[in-house]
């Protein structure tokens, strides 16, 4: 099963799942405790679009494919010492609790469920966990522009958390950087919040003198927010806080041939052995 319904959802889950397995195997003899944090945990399952040529799949195979990030993390061997699942929407939260309790009763004593906003919960966690004794991996999997820069800064500041970030390149940024350079205030606010700065404006717009015939003509401002520029600016921003580095490649996640998200990987730990290991594992998966 290489692909399911042409789904990039399945692909991102596979990639992150492979990292979690590789991480747990590589670090199994380390004395620190390992935590998996899923701040946009959903219900435990997603709804795959079944492509015609996959209709032959047995129900069990379809259920296998439909497992979301939380269930996949709980299957990793050896298991994490602690799992933290955060979900804001009450209906999704209770479904998540139910699905996990049914499937993983043996791991319940390691699991915390938090029904809250991911940003608040993550900032609180970053402050309250003893990062001398713990390491973590988190998978930021929002629908849109829900991850605040302040949250990423708090995560990076622990120097102990590896991050997979499904960045909303099109499903957020490209739509918000309007063709008209007079970006509406609420879009501006959303961009400031996701990037933690107003510099995006210098990167995504350029003063153009093309077509100017007279010195008194006002230069026009043109939008240059291509996918490549969104990717390189986002990488620069992440590199400014994740001292362990950011994987060179971000995987484009497409729908109907159009880029929707970019899957980034960033490392909090600046120590050479830790960062080299994390980047090596992730680079294999991002290829």
Ligand X SMILES: C[S@@+](CC[C@H](N)C(=O)[O-])C[C@H]1O[C@@H](n2cnc3c(N)ncnc32)[C@H](O)[C@@H]1O
CB 92 to ligand X: min, Å: 4
* 68 touches ligand X (CB under 6 A): yes
- Closest CB to ligand X among residues 87, 231: 87
| Binding-site member from 20, 86, 122, 171 for ligand X (CB under 6 A) | 86
* Angular region, 203: left φ>0, alpha ψ -120 to 50, beta rest: alpha
| Binding-site member from 7, 8, 24, 69 for ligand X (CB under 6 A) | 69
The strand pairing partners of 164, in sequence order, are: 139, 265
Cα 255 → chain centroid: 17
Give the 3-state secondary structure of residue 69.
Answer: helix
Binding residue for ligand X, selected from 40, 80, 167, 203, defined by CB under 6 A:
40
Residue choice 28, 49, 89, 280 for contact with ligand X (CB under 6 A): 89
Binding positions for ligand X, 110-139, rule CB under 6 A = 117-118
Task: Check: CB of residue 225 under 8 Å from CB of residue 173.
Answer: yes
How far is the C-alpha of 114 from the C-alpha of 152, rounded, in Å?
Answer: 19
What is the rounded CA–CA span in Å between residue 215 and residue 218? 8
* Structure-block tokens of residue 92: 């999704």
Interface positions, 142-201, toward ligand X (CB under 6 A): 142-143, 146
Number of residues lying near ligand X (CB under 6 A): 18
Query: Which one of residues 35, 36, 87, 261 is an interface residue with ligand X (CB under 6 A)?
Result: 87
Q: What is the rounded CA–CA span in Å between residue 116 and residue 79?
A: 25
Interface residues toward ligand X, by CB under 6 A: 13, 40-42, 46, 68-69, 86-89, 92, 117-118, 141-143, 146
């Amino acid at each position: 099963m290489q692909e399911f319904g042409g789904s990039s959802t399945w692909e991102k889950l596979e990639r992150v799942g492979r990292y979690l397995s590789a991480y747990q195997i590589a670090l199994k003899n380390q004395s620190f405790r390992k935590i998996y944090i899923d701040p946009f945990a959903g219900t435990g399952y997603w709804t795959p679009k079944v492509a015609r040529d996959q209709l032959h799949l047995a129900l069990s195979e379809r259920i296998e494919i439909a497992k979301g990030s939380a269930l996949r993390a709980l299957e990793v061997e050896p298991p994490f010492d602690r799992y933290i699942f955060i979900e804001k929407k009450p209906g999704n939260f209770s479904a998540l609790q139910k699905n996990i309790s049914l499937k993983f009763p043996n791991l319940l004593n390691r699991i915390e469920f938090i029904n809250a906003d991911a940003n608040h919960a993550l900032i609180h966690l970053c402050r309250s966990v003893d990062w001398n004794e713990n390491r973590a991996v988190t998978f930021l999997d929002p629908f849109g522009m829900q991850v605040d820069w302040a949250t990423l800064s708090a995560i990076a500041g622990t120097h102990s958390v590896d991050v997979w970030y499904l960045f909303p390149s099109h499903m957020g940024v490209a739509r918000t950087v309007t063709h008209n350079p007079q970006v509406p205030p609420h879009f501006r606010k959303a961009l400031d919040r996701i990037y933690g700065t107003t510099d995006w404006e210098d990167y995504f717009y350029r003063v153009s003198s093309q077509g100017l015939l007279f010195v008194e003509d006002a230069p026009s401002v043109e939008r240059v927010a291509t996918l490549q520029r969104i990717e390189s600016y986002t990488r620069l921003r992440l590199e400014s806080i994740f001292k362990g580095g950011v994987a060179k490649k971000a995987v484009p996640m497409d729908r109907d041939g159009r880029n929707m998200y970019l899957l980034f990987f960033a490392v909090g730990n600046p120590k050479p052995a830790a960062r080299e290991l994390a980047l090596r594992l992730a680079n294999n998966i991002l290829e």
